[in-house]
Chain A
Amino acid sequence: MHSILQIKDARYFQIIFQAVFLSYGIFYLHWAKEGTCFSYYAAACIATQFLFEWIQHKFSVTSPGFWKKFYNGCKSALITAFGLCLLLKTNLWYVCIMAAFISIAGKYIIRYRKKHVFNPSALGIAITILLTGKAWLSPGQWGNDIVIMFAVCCLGFIVVTKVQKLDVSIAFLGSYILLLFARQVLYLGWPPDFFIQSITTGSLLLFTFFMISDPKTAPDHATARIIWAVLIGVLSFYLTAFKFINAAPVWVLVLLAPSVPLLDAIFKSKRFQWPGPVLSPS
């Protein structure tokens, strides 16, 4: 088992940084419910993780030690719980539980060639909103404070470079920002601060560095990853600028998830694996 102080796994950083963002939201932005919500998300994510690990353990012959595997998976479950809490809003505890269950169950059930197809929290968010109608995304909730933006970028950078998938974040953000700049400033003629306001939202940066960057749901090959991330950037831009859809990147990430197996089939490369016991669908 890993000791917390011998950090080899970038997920520890991700957990800690997401905890920082959540506490910033609670203590500085005065979010009222997120503390309670987080406990629901975390408990439900870990319980679901346990359930599916246990089922897998029961029916698998080659599986290594159950607890080791479960512990390793818990890190991912916790990241999913933070991801849900930082993005999804709801007043109802059972909606929290449902979102958590869908997120984790999704990565065990919807699989293709031993790789889960959807980003867990993005899938949980999308299905929960569509099915219950009692939850929503709040793209304005982070405000445009430049300090927190800087922090998100820096901390995100550390996490992302640690797992060597900065290419996805850069490709997505680059294409999205470039198109937005071309539309808002060059074509429509808005002053620069209009554009700055569009790109300094916490939601966009969290998505860039803590969601799309998930190496388990991105294509394996570097070229494929860039193509995929640019595709998400372009489609997000289109939906934001012309269809006035809020929080478009999250929806696009879910929408384009099925393209990952296709890209993996065309561009073959080594599968990403978190440190720890193998075969864990974390």
Chain B
Amino acid sequence: MKKKLIIITAIIAASPVLYSFCGFYVSKADGTLKNKTSQVILVRDGNKTVITMYNDFKGDVKDFAMVVPVPVVLQKNDIKVTGNNIFQLLNDYSAPRLVEYFDENPCGMRLMEDKAYSMAPMSRSKKDDAELYKNKSLGVTVEASYTVGEYDILILSAKESSGLKTWLTGNGYKIPKGAEEVLEPYIKSNLKFFVVKVNIEEKEKTGLENLRPIQIKFNSPKFMLPIRLGMANADGDQDMIIYGFTRRGRIETTNYRTVTVPTGKNIPLFVQKNFSGFYTNLFMHQWKSEDERIAFLEYAWDVSPANYVKCDPCVSNPPGYNDLKTAGVWWLGNNDEDYIDGNEPGGHVYFTRLHVRYNRSAFPQDLSFQVTPNTENFQARYIITHPATGSFNCPEGKKYLGDLKERRRKELNMLASLTGKDASDWDITLNDEENMNISADVSYSGLSKLSPDELKKTGSASTEKIIFASVVALACMCAVKYKVDRI
């Protein structure tokens, strides 16, 4: 009865605005600069890490400054700028997706034609200028200074946080409130500070409107992202999307739980009109119900050049060999054995997309990661099903409508359990053309008028809770029995 899917709708992730990285902006102007959502590419193999930080700075570029703690003093050739496109490509490829299915008319009539949708993801950008640094003797050492692309970069090491703070303030930086608390531990952990500003002349030479992402590479057993510094100038929750590439398999956080977002769920048809809103709500609800201290896995796939199935189904172009190289996957194509049949560059690359929403109270520590050998594919995928069209004046047609009603009831329940918002919070009116022959009691608006009990008439997901409770009860009984026997 069900005709197979044809169409995919892709969205950009939960948050509409994508700002920059996890360091902190140090404002020179009075305006407060905030980084709400950041995107970062993490490439890791052995002790080597390549980090690419998306720069989506808004405002006058001469006010732009970023500080990122790094474990070692970086050399000039460890730093480069890359194109912005790679982030757009990775985001489009791995974002949560909506899949459509169409029912066939059981009475043999078919009116609908398949349509293809694509919600184009949005992109953004901004402007420029730079500054000069002065050095004072405050226990702050300028380990290196480079100009790379449109950026002036300093690598600082410091002996004490007050010196570093004085140095930054003295050189015209505004230290965000709360940043001080983490400077001291970072200095004592022997981290260096990667300070970035925009070089106006170089910026103009590039002729580009946007600031480009900065890519750094270094060797260190530490596999982490310093989010604590980024919390300094953020109000409330911040989002970070991490695109991880490894040779072995998925990456996961070691000091927080890594949880897969709910996937493969059937949801009501009207969600199509606002899939982005649906996913934002789902993410929020799941994040809250998982106690906030987690990293969500949104996508995981083997993207090795030799693997031909890089997504199923694909919503946009998967990253190719050149994209992977741009992202910093250095091991590809380096060895002769990597070339399959003498032309296709091989080597294993596994992709992971993690989405972290963090705040100061739920995330006291920076994010630590590990590479696991887990190569199981995963995608965040939600399913809508269009009803059949035409007349239902046959016995199968009647049965179909009954099944449809039941299915839609379940979809509404699923929507409520995924997002924490029931039908009344959504715009549930549908295109009449499609629902012409569907009676009111089968429509979503009809079903949503049912009382909550009627809507949820069958057993919910409570069976597992009952099993768990029984096991706990058994344990308690045994403990009591043991105590009684002892007396």
Contact = CB atoms under 8 A, between A and B. Distances in A.
B139 interface: no
Interface stretch (B12-20, B84-92, B93-101, B365-373): B365-373
A141 interface: yes
A161 to B, nearest CB: 12
A23 B188 CA distance: 41
Contact of B365 (A28, A143, A194, A244): A194
Interface residues of B, number: 43
B472 interface: yes
Contacts of A7: 478, 481-482, 485
A270 interface: no
Given A24-B468, A27-B468, A142-B257, A19 B293 contact: no
B312 interface: no
B473 to A, nearest CB: 10
Interface stretch (A75-83, A166-174, A185-193): A185-193
Interface in B429-487: 464-465, 467-468, 471-472, 474-475, 478-479, 481-482, 485
A113 interface: no
Contacts of A20: 471-472, 475
B253 A140 contact: yes
Contacts of A12: 478
A135 interface: yes
A91 B255 contact: no
Given A23-B468, A244-B221, A6 B475 contact: no
Nearest to B361: A193
A138 B297 CA distance: 15
Contacts of B375: 91
A102 B87 CA distance: 45
A27 B253 contact: no
B185 A190 contact: yes
Interface stretch (A56-64, A66-74, A196-204, A212-220): A196-204
B364 A143 contact: no
Contacts of B370: 136, 246
B478 A13 contact: yes
Given A23-B468, A190-B185, A91 B485 contact: no
Contact of B254 (A6, A13, A133, A140): A140
Contacts of B184: 188-189
Contacts of A24: 468
Interface string B179-210: 00100110011000000000000000000000
Interface string A127-138: 000000111101
A91 B374 CA distance: 7
B478 A23 contact: no
Interface in A7-43: 7, 12-13, 16-17, 19-20, 23-24, 26-30, 32
A65 B19 CA distance: 71
Interface in B289-335: 291, 293-294
B425 interface: no
B464 to A, nearest CB: 4
B73 interface: no
B478 A27 contact: no
A106 interface: no
A53 B445 CA distance: 66
A190 B161 CA distance: 13
A197 B364 contact: yes
A17 B477 CA distance: 12
A196 B478 contact: no
A4 B467 CA distance: 20
Band of interface residues on A: 35 or more
B373 A28 contact: no
Chain A facing B: main interface SS: loop
Name the residue in B375, B465, B478 with the highest tally of chain A Cβ atoms < 10 Å from its Cβ: B478
B256 interface: yes
B269 to A, nearest CB: 27
A135 B375 CA distance: 11
A231 interface: no
Contacts of B258: 140-141
B482 A13 contact: yes
A155 B471 CA distance: 14
A277 interface: no
A244 B222 contact: yes
A158 B254 contact: no
A5 interface: yes
B252 interface: yes
B259 interface: yes
Contact of B257 (A143, A193, A196): A143
A165 interface: no
B367 to A, nearest CB: 10
B481 A5 contact: yes
Given A145-B291, A187-B188, A246-B370, A16 B475 contact: yes
Given A13-B478, A136-B373, A201-B255, A196 B364 contact: yes
B30 interface: no
Contacts of B185: 188-190, 194
Contacts of B252: 138, 140
A197 B291 CA distance: 14
B341 interface: no
Given A19-B475, A193-B364, A197-B364, A89 B372 contact: yes
Interface of A: 4-7, 12-13, 16-17, 19-20, 23-24, 26-30, 32, 89, 91, 133-136, 138-145, 155, 158, 187-191, 193-194, 196-198, 201, 243-244, 246
Given A29-B259, A189-B188, A194-B365, 4 more contacts: A5-B481, A20-B472, A29-B257, A198-B255
**What are the 7 tightest A-B residue pairs by CB atom distance, in nearest-first order?**
A193-B364, A188-B185, A143-B257, A27-B468, A189-B184, A27-B464, A136-B372
Interface of B: 181, 184-185, 188-189, 221-223, 248, 252-260, 291, 293-294, 361, 364-365, 370, 372-376, 464-465, 467-468, 471-472, 474-475, 478-479, 481-482, 485
14 contacts: A5-B481, A7-B481, A7-B482, A13-B478, A13-B479, A16-B478, A17-B475, A28-B468, A91-B375, A136-B372, A158-B479, A194-B365, A197-B365, A198-B365
